[in-house]
Chains A and B, each alone.
Chain A
Amino acid sequence: MRLTLAGVRLSRGDWHLAADAAFGPGIHFVAGAVGSGKSTLALIMAGLIAPDEGSVVRRGIGSATLSLQFPESHVTGATVEEEVRSWGLDTAEVLGQTGLGPKAAMPPLALSRGELKRLELACVLASKHEVCVLDEPFSSLDCAQKRALCKRLGERTGGITIIFSHEQHILPAVDVLWEMEGGRLVCHGRVPGALERWGAAAPPHIRWAIARGMLPANMRIEDVREAACRTSG
C-alpha cells in the first residue's frame, strides 16, 4: 500500500506548491505554518484538486477519504442523525461515541463548531478507508477532545493516516514527520530521529528537549517528560 506524489506542482499567482513523496502504512504528520499549502496538498491527495503538473499514484489502495479543515464543509444531512447516516454509518454508535445523542434531531449547522468538528471527525475515522487524510483535525477542539483524538488516531491500524496540522501542544504519536517549507513538502524522516531535523518550527517542548540533548521517543509532551526523567534520573 503506497500513496505517491510524483512531481506534483501547483501554482496560484506567485505562490507555488511542490511535492515529491511516498507515503506508506503508518501515521504521517505534515507540519507547517498557516498558509504554507497544507490544505491545498490535502485536497490534491484526496483527488479533489488536480495538480498543474505531476500525479497522485495510489498503489494497493482501495479507498481514501479526507477530513476537511472546516467541519461545515462536510455537512449534507438536514439533521445530526441524517448527517451520520450520510456517511453510511450506524447512528447509535457514532452519536454514543461523540455524546451528541441528545442533539440527534438538531440541524448539524446549529451545533457549535467544536461539536460539529467532533461529529465529522468521528464519522471520517469510523469510515473504514485505507487512506485517511486529516486537514487540521485539532482545530476547534478543546484540550480534552484533542487528547481523545490523539488516542483515537493511535488506535487506527493498518492504513495510511496523514495528518496536516499546525498544532504545537497536544500531538499524537506518529511514525513519519514531514514539513511544508516555502511551499515544498520536505520529509524529515522517521520519528524519533526526525525530531532533531525539525528545526525552528518544531513545537516548544520538542525544541526544549533537543536543546538539552534529549531525544524523546515521539513528539507528545509525555514523551518529552519521559525523556527528561530518563536524563535526570
Chain B
Amino acid sequence: MQDVRLRVAAAAALSAASYLSVVGAAFTLLWWLLFTGREKALPGRGVLASFLLMILAVAGANQLGGGDGLSYAVRMVPLILIAGWLSSERVPGELLHAAVWLFGPKTGFDLGLVAEMGLQAMGGIGDELERMRRAMRLKGRSWGVRAMVPAGLNLMQLQIARSAEQAQILALRGYRRGGSLDPVFKTTARDSILFFSALLGFLLTLCGLEKFL
C-alpha cells in the first residue's frame, strides 16, 4: 500500500478486529495471507520469536490463572503479523507527511518528526545488536542472557547520546517549532480496496461477525 494514511488506518482496523474476537483474528490472518508479501512482511526472526515468546508466556499465565489464554494467543498473533507488515511497508518521511496532513504544520510537524526519529532509532537497534554480536564473536564469547544487560545499557547510552546530538543539530539549524511541508500522498486503487476490506472486517467484528456466519 502506497498511501500511508490508508495503510495505518487499515492496520489499526485490523488490529482492533483481531483484538476484539477470535473470528476477527481469523479475518486479520486471512487478510494478511491474501494482501501482504507474507515472508517479506514478517518481522525479523529474532523479533518475531521474542514477541511470540512474550505472547505465549502471557497466554500460559492467563490459562493457568483460569482465563482464556488460548483465545488471547490466537488474537495476538495476527496483531504481530500486521505490525510486521506495517513496519515492512514503511517509507522514511511518510509519517511526517501523514502527521502534518492530520494535525497541521505546527503540532503535526512536531509529532511527525518525533515519530520519524523514533522509528529511525528503532531501525538502528537491530544493527546495534548485530554489531554487538559481532563484537562478542571477535572476543570469543557467546551471545547469551548474561550479555543482555550490558547490551541493553549500551543501547540506552547510545540512543540518549544520539538523541542529544540530533536535538543540538536541530537547534543549531534554527528549529524551534513546526515547519512548512506540503503533504503529498499517492493513492492507488489497490490501496482503497485493501483499506475498505480491512474496515469491513473491523465493522463486521464490531457487530459480532459470528452472527453472520
Contacts and interface: CB of A to CB of B under 8 A. Distances in A.
Interface in A52-99: 63, 65-66, 68, 72-78, 82, 86-88
Contacts of A6: none
Contacts of B134: 48, 73
Contacts of A182: none
Contact of A75 (B137, B140, B149, B154): B154
A123 to B, nearest CB: 9
| Chain A interface extent, by class | 20 to 34
Given A73-B131, A73-B134, A73-B135, A78 B154 contact: yes
Nearest to B149: A78
B12 interface: no
Nearest to B131: A73
Contacts of A82: 150
Nearest to A120: B135
Contacts of A110: 157
Contact of B138 (A72, A74, A108): A74
Majority SS at the chain B contact face? helix
Given A88-B140, A107-B157, A74 B150 contact: no
Given A73-B134, A76-B147, A78-B149, A109 B139 contact: no
A63 B138 CA distance: 10
Contacts of A107: 153-154, 157
A107 B150 CA distance: 10
B164 interface: no
Contacts of A5: none
A109 B157 contact: yes
Interface in B133-191: 134-141, 147, 149-151, 153-154, 157-158, 161
Given A63-B140, A68-B135, A76-B151, 4 more contacts: A73-B131, A73-B135, A78-B153, A87-B139
5 contacts: A48-B134, A63-B140, A68-B135, A74-B138, A109-B158
